Structure 1
């Protein structure tokens, strides 16, 4: 789809405006006197529905101006990136549990995480588009990488069942601790404070560092996935942007279900393998090998079907016992 520069600029401007309105309206109840308030389920549900609604409306606009094929690529990309973003939320959930982030400050962490994710994915979209234009064989590399990612998702999921990952001891967090002293307690949403004449960083900064590294990893995983569904840079960007917008509201909406959606990782792994195979078949076709190509309609059907089955199966599965949950409480953020 040939998209003029003014449409790109208008789209990016609209995303910035939406984020600004979100910040102004959703966070309006805050005051310096009372501090930030906890996010309610009803508020989260309305905003999550709003963001999904505007993403769907945008898809119909793509259908009107670009045709059914392009719209199908957008919706397939949006569903895939939204699914990966939900998986991203699971990691955010574990990070905030590891650092014992107070609930009233979690939406600030999520907002920063989403902005970092948008920037990271924007960079990788530009790199991926240039790589595809310069070297069509990159589809072999992307396809193989997605299949490897699927194996890694399953392996990490099985490993997580055996032992909880301690994000407070990750490499990036340990490097920060070596450079600056860290306070034992949170100081509101401040990243640094001055104590005894010396600048200290707070656990909030460590959380941001951990989430930033996570965003980088997920950007590396998600961009090849959507390029397997469409090579249109505009569709890749908008599908990613709409998948990330409203993510912090969705976090609070799904917070009570995080422990129950146990099969999501398996569904994502299946989607990664499917898209990886699709990319390899496309690369073979581009190189003159007569192989069947997977249509956009089939891609959308498979992605929706796999995610529906895994979500329903997860919700039907027996919830973890209270004793099992009690055995994995949040860790200390002091690192000692």
Structure 2
């Protein structure tokens, strides 16, 4: 897949324009979006992703289009899991409902920039060292097992502050009072960071931690950096609207962690099989390619991804509908009053 330089530049410009426009709308009138507003924006972003995939099909071929759609679905499904943590962060810092859009938007932009850097590093490693697929595959399988175990245990939904945020809070003077969208506020002539600054740093760096499994996962579907980047862009575009649209529904997706664990394990095995097929490590098969190791076709990956997400959603909603509040809290953590934030 040969992507001309002007396509990369155009993609960056369009992405910047969309996020700038979105940020300008949110920044000019901070508010809690209605369900209609969220559904409208989300429909637009999903529609753009579908059109982009069709454009890839027309410009390159169907295989690359299926790779994009598969990668986009994986990133979206993992992003839904991330929303649980975003809700906890918002609750921990008591972010006013009308300011949550702005905080999410800035955090998402930061996450996209850091993901782009991570994707570049990952692509360079893959191009130069085929054995990296072994590492990615084993890491995804490890993450899948860990995620499945967490899903089987009762969770108290306690958010552990990451080290960067803890460092910022320790080293810089901060105020506990909210001052709208201000990141810094002068108090008695002293410049202090606001809770908005802390929340944005927390959201951005937390998403980067999630990227440690989502980026290797999508590289297991496609090795094209352009498709990896655009799949992440489209997944992050609708994340803010998804946060408000399905915030209450997340409580009912009681088996989501199991579904995601299965997907990560599937992609991890797929990566290891690919690594075996391309093997160059001298202590494995004498450094020769393992020809019997099959490459999982992209159409099968897409079928597995769609089927897993569908089954997980249907079974989760069916089971949660038959649980009382206490049973559901035991499955997904203590219930929160979503309307009160």
Q: Same fold (TM over 0.5)?
A: yes
- 1: CA distance between counterparts of 2:254 and 2:163? 27
Q: Say yes or no: does 1:138 pair with 2:132.
A: yes
Cα distance, 1:40 vs structure 2: 0.7
Q: 1:243 aligns with which of 235, 244, 249?
A: 235
Q: 1:312 to 1:101 in 2, by over 3 A?
A: same
Residue 253 of structure 1 pairs with residue 253 of structure 2: no
Looking at structure 2, the residues matched to 184 and 64 of structure 1 have their Cα atoms a distance apart, in angstroms, of 53
Trace 1:1-336 onto structure 2 (pairs within 5 A): 1-25=1-25, 30=29, 36-158=30-152, 161-167=154-160, 169-287=161-279, 288-289=289-290, 290-318=292-320
Distance 2:51 2:152 in 1: 38
Larger mean CA deviation between 199-208 and 140-149 belongs to: 199-208
Decide which moves more: 284-293 or 312-321.
Answer: 312-321
Tell me the TM-score normalised to structure 2 length. 0.88
Flag the 1:322–1:85 CA change in 2: closer, same or farther, 3 A.
Answer: same
* Distance across 2 between alignment mates of 1:311 and 1:76: 17
**8 Å contact 2:26–2:101 — kept in the other structure?**
no
Do the aligned partners of residues 86 and 238 (structure 1) sit closer, same or farther apart at CA in structure 2, a change above 3 Å counting? same
* 266 and 108 in structure 1: CA distance in 2 versus 1, 3 angstrom threshold: same
3-state SS of paired residue (1:11): helix
Match in the other structure for 1:33 = none
How many equivalent residue pairs?
322
Secondary structure at the aligned position of 2:2 is classed as coil
Pairwise CA RMSD: 2.1
Deviation at 1:198, TM superposition (A): 2.5
Question: What secondary structure does 1:258 align onto?
Answer: helix
Q: Tell me the SS of whatever aligns to 1:230.
A: coil
Tell me the CA shift for residue 108 of structure 1.
Answer: 0.7
The verdict on how the C-alpha distance between 1:321 and 1:172 changes in structure 2, with shifts beyond 3 A counting, is farther
Quote how far apart the aligned CAs of 1:15 are: 1.1
Within 2, Cα distance between the matches of 1:156 and 1:176? 29
* Partner SS state of residue 185, structure 2: strand
Distance in 2 between residues matched to 1:162 and 1:4, nearest whole Å: 48
Q: Distance in 2 between matches of 1:144 and 1:81?
A: 19
CA distance in 1, matches of 2:311, 2:141: 21
The structure-2 alpha-carbon separation of the partners of 1:268 and 1:182, relative to structure 1 and needing over 3 Å to count, comes to same
2:191 match: secondary structure: strand
> Structure 2 stretches of 5 or more lacking a match?
280-288
SS in 2 for 1:226: helix
Q: 1:291: Cα distance to partner?
A: 1.6
What residue ranges of structure 1 are gaps of 5+ in the alignment? 31-35, 331-336
Q: After the TM superposition, which of the residue ranges 79-88 and 45-54 deviates more from structure 2?
A: 79-88
